[in-house]
Amino acid sequence: MSLDRLINVLVTITLIEMMVLIGLQVAFAQPVRTVRNWRLVARAAIANYLLVPAVAIALLMALNTAPMVAAGFLVLAVCPGAPFGPPFAGIARADVPAAVGLMVILAGSSAIISPALLTVLLPWLSGGEAPRVDVVRMLSALLVTQLLPLLLGLLVKHWSPKLTEKLLGPLELLSKLLNLSAVGLILATQFQMLAEIRMSGFAGMLALLAASLVIGWLAGGPANDERRTMALTTSLRNVGVGLVIVTGNFADTPAVSAALAYGIVEVLGSLIVALWWGSRYVRVRATIPPRND
């Protein structure tokens, strides 16, 4: 088995396991409650599937990015629903149930919407220089690696709570091991390409991250906790799905390095913002005098 094939297999297994684990951690009531808040879902869809990709394209065009590098960034830009959303929302003292619901809705819908967006945007952005994606293959891959495992986890959680309790511990450990292995293997094989990224490239990544946070904050509604939730949900793109797409369609190209590089930047950057919001929340709460009931 070639190294590129090994990376693709490992990333695919990691994503399937993560989606099953997410399903086991979520009750059906959480995404259902979020779906009923159609205004929140509509704002999340506009922010994640329209505004963030539009900003990414504008930055890529402004920086005159090479076609395959642009392909890697664009793949992540159209893939929302990262599993880091709920834990980061918890760190930021935001609305965790809403973060869970949005994560499930975006992760599920991206299996269909993301391939459609890439089919339209990728040839246009690259001027025909980037290889065309195989839509049927990509859609099939995302259904198998993302949507179906997520549904499986949800069903097991709903039908067998006892089995869910037994599976959670081992699967959480397995998830950490698989993620570390996948990231470590990709870093080892793509280190030279990552080292060649210019400072302007990192500046563009930070600009996209900042824009995603602002877009999410403005789309979050009037309440601060919902704004923090939407900001983090929007800034955190689904690295696992993105890597499945780029390793399956653009293996051994700068697209893999670009997707991995932005994945690292957006996760670390979002974590820093979540920690700052959480500490600020604690400081503000400390200044409020206790009630004398």
Whether 290 is in a domain gets the answer no
Ranges of the chain with pLDDT below 70? 1-5, 7-8, 126-135, 137-138, 142, 186, 190-197, 284-293
Whether 293 is in a domain gets the answer no
DSSP designation for 226: H
Residue with tokens 């983090």: 232
Q: What is the pLDDT of residues 50-78, one digit of tens each?
A: 999 999 999 988 888 888 888 888 999 99
Calpha distance 120→128 (Å, rounded): 11
Cα 140–216–101 angle (5° rounding)? 55
240 in Cβ contact with 18 (< 8 Å):
yes
Whether 292 is in a domain gets the answer no
Three-state DSSP class for residue 272: helix
- CATH number for the domain harbouring residue 95: 1.20.1530.20
Calpha distance 96→83 (Å, rounded): 12
First-to-final CA distance of the chain: 69
Number of domains in the chain: 1
pLDDT at 194: 63
Task: Name the residue range of residue 156's domain.
Answer: 3-283
Residue with tokens 């929340």: 281
Token pair belonging to 97: 């149930």
Token pair belonging to 158: 């709903």
Whether 177 is in a domain gets the answer yes
pLDDT at 68: 83
Q: Strand (E) positions, 141-274?
A: none
- What pTM did the predictor assign? 0.78
